[in-house]
Every structure is written in C-alpha cells, then in structure tokens.
Amino acid sequence: MNPIDLHVHVLGNGLAGSGCRVQRVWWQEPFVQMMARGVGVDVGPADPRLDEVYARRLGSWLDESSLGGVVLLACDYVHQDDGVSRPDLSRIYVPNEYVLELCRREQRFLPGISIHPARKNALDLLEAGVEAGAVLLKLLPCVQIVDPALARYRPFWKRMAELRLPLLAHTGGEFSLPTYRPDLCNPDCLRAVLEQGVTVIAAHCGAPALPWHRDFSGDFLDLRNAFPNLYGDISALSQWVHFKTLTRVRENPQRILYGSDYPVATSVFCSRAFRWISSHEAERLWKTRNPLQRKLELTRLLGFPDTIFSGVYDVLRQTPALAKIRSGEDVLSG
Ligand SMILES: [Zn+2]
C-alpha cells in the first residue's frame, strides 16, 4: 500500500505571481537556510524562481519516494474575531487558488485548503473549496487567532461536518510562526468543532516545539478518549522535545495518522539516542537524502501499526483524485 503524507507545506515569496507571501525575520534566517538545504532548494528567498523550484523539488522527491500522494496545505491570513484580516500579523500566506493550481498540475498532490472562519464569505469559500476537490481544511488556531468555541463559527463547523471535510488543526507549541493565542495551543480548544461532528486531526498531538513549552499530549489523549472523531498526526515529531509525546502515541497508536510537516527536517539522531532504532537502521536513514522517504521509513521503524497509513485514506474527504491514488495502489498491489 502506498501511504499518503497528509501534512506537507507549500511555500513561496509570490514574486512570480503565485499569490504567496512570506515575511522574513532575521533570527530565523539560519533555520530557513538549513531547511532549504535539507529539501534541496538552491535558490535564495528573494529569487522570483523560488515558488516554482520549491514545487518542482517537492514533486521530484515524491516521484522518488514510495508515497502514493501528499496533501498540500494552504495557509490563510490571521484574522481578528470580528473578521478583520491582518496580513501585517501573518508571517506566511499561501492562497487556496495556488494550492489548487499545483494540484491540477500534479495528480498526486491533494489540496488542503485554509479558510479563516471569521471571514465574511467563509461559507461560500468553503463550498468552493470542496467543489474544487479539497480533501481537508487546515488551520492553526493559536497562530491565526481561531477560537473554535466562538458561537459565530458554529455554522462553519456544522457545514464542514455535512460536507465530510476534516479539519487539520495545529496543536501544541509553534516555532516558525508567532503565537498570538497561547491558550489555543491546547487540543482541548477543539471540543466545539468535535461537538459539531467534524472529523478533527490534531497536528503534532499537542507536542511542544521548544523545551519550555508545555506538553499537551496528555490532554490530546484524554480528548481522543472522549471523541471518536478525533485523530492525531505525527508530523514534525522526531526531535528531543518530542520524546514524551512520541512515547505516548507509540504506546497508544489508535487513530494516529501519518504526516511529515515537510519541509521541517526529520531527526534520525534522537530516535537512535532513545534506542528506538538500531545503529544499522540509523545509518540507513542517514543515507536517505529524500526528506519524504526518510520520515516514512523512520515511522515504519518506530513500529507504528499499518492503521497510521490506512487511516489517512479513510479520514480524508473522498474525492476523485483520492480514488485515483487508491486505485493506482490496487493496480500495483494486484
Ligand atoms: Zn505544519
């Protein structure tokens, strides 16, 4: 079976018309450069070719991997509760139109749209996104200022449930983007969405991003016990700070789904240091240059059950593009 990676970021500077935006911050430059090297993007951040090079590189990693497809994530602007858009507070912006365009070009790219529910036309955008083939909707409540409990958002969640569009919501600490509402790092804030019947995937299972962040993985597991429609993803989880979260979800892998958080780097060293993998396995992973494949192989070595991959097929919104990937898989295995 060919797994789908449900957490892959699209990035761009928009200088060639993609509509993407990125605000650069001086202290993050070394990390950005490290990440660019890790995914093999060799043009500078202010180069108009960046968006195209990034998308093509991702496509070639996918070609050379054993994945069946990846979900590409859009990223909406930060909005105030009253619907006022705040581009000034948004460090990155990736429009749905650009993600949809990339997915039309490459069949194994599946669109993950992003719509802030405070937008005046949020419901219309939701219908249009689903019509265009979205397989999920991505939000970062603590970053984009989305308080799921606000009563005015209820029709939006309700419509997502009716459309069977799952929500991929960032939970836990955040490193790359500013956190405006630290109280919304706790997965517990997703209760209001779950109560409307939406399938929710708590990205990172509430893990911390920095050593002084709180670990919310216990809160995540409690919430998962209470709501059969709550899932988690293991995207980004591979560093020292993730030890507690990873230990917990490996022991309780029910409804845990596969995702990488590309272009975020996957550490092999920590899994070896925790003695979760042998030195022989670590060596093999170190030699795996393809970041998509490295995360995939590490996940298998960590002993997660097959449901981490098969579950993705069940949870994503069923679209013709997803069916195509699934049937390709049948042809291969048959
Ligand atoms: Zn992410």
Bridge partners (DSSP) of residue 221 are none
Q: Which pLDDT score is estimated for 273?
A: 95
Instruction: Kindly indicate the confidence band of residue 329, based on its pLDDT and cuts at 50, 70 and 90.
Output: low
Compute, in angstroms, the gap from residue 308 CA to the centroid of ligand 1.
Answer: 18
Instruction: Kindly indicate the confidence band of residue 150, based on its pLDDT and cuts at 50, 70 and 90.
Output: very high
16 inside domain = yes
* pLDDT, tens only, 202-212: 999 999 999 89
pLDDT (mean) for 296-321? 97
Which residues have C-beta under 5 Å from ligand 1, the single-atom ion?
Answer: 261
Listed as own residue / partner, the contacts of 246-253 with beta carbons closer than 8 Å and 24 or more positions apart are 246/207, 246/302, 248/205, 248/217, 248/218, 248/221, 249/205, 249/217, 250/302, 250/303, 250/304, 252/221, 253/304, 253/305, 253/307, 253/308
Choose the weakest-confidence range: 45-49, 77-81, 93-97, 200-204.
45-49
pLDDT at 29 over 90: no
> How many other β-carbons are positioned within 10 Å of the β-carbon of residue 137?
29
Compute, in angstroms, the gap from residue 334 CA to the centroid of ligand 1.
Answer: 34
Rounded to 5 degrees, φ, ψ at 117 are -65, -10
Compute, in angstroms, the gap from residue 164 CA to the centroid of ligand 1.
Answer: 22
Q: Which helix (H) or strand (E) holds 201?
A: strand 200-203
pLDDT (mean) for 166-173? 97
Compute, in angstroms, the gap from residue 332 CA to the centroid of ligand 1.
Answer: 30
Compute, in angstroms, the gap from residue 262 CA to the centroid of ligand 1.
Answer: 7
The two counts, helices (H) then strands (E), for the chain are 14, 10
Compute, in angstroms, the gap from residue 261 CA to the centroid of ligand 1.
Answer: 5
Compute, in angstroms, the gap from residue 9 CA to the centroid of ligand 1.
Answer: 6
| Parent domain of 68 | 4-329
Instruction: Kindly indicate the confidence band of residue 333, based on its pLDDT and cuts at 50, 70 and 90.
Output: very low
pLDDT at 240 over 60: yes
334 inside domain = no
Mean pLDDT rounded to a whole number for the chain = 95
Compute, in angstroms, the gap from residue 263 CA to the centroid of ligand 1.
Answer: 9
DSSP 8-state class, residue 78: P
Compute, in angstroms, the gap from residue 207 CA to the centroid of ligand 1.
Answer: 12
Instruction: Kindly indicate the confidence band of residue 334, based on its pLDDT and cuts at 50, 70 and 90.
Output: very low
Compute, in angstroms, the gap from residue 5 CA to the centroid of ligand 1.
Answer: 12
CATH number at residue 10: 3.20.20.140
pLDDT at 107 over 60: yes
pLDDT at 332 over 90: no
pLDDT at 193 over 60: yes
Domain count, the chain: 1
Compute, in angstroms, the gap from residue 8 CA to the centroid of ligand 1.
Answer: 7
Rounded to 5 degrees, φ, ψ at 93 are -140, 125
Instruction: Kindly indicate the confidence band of residue 35, based on its pLDDT and cuts at 50, 70 and 90.
Output: confident
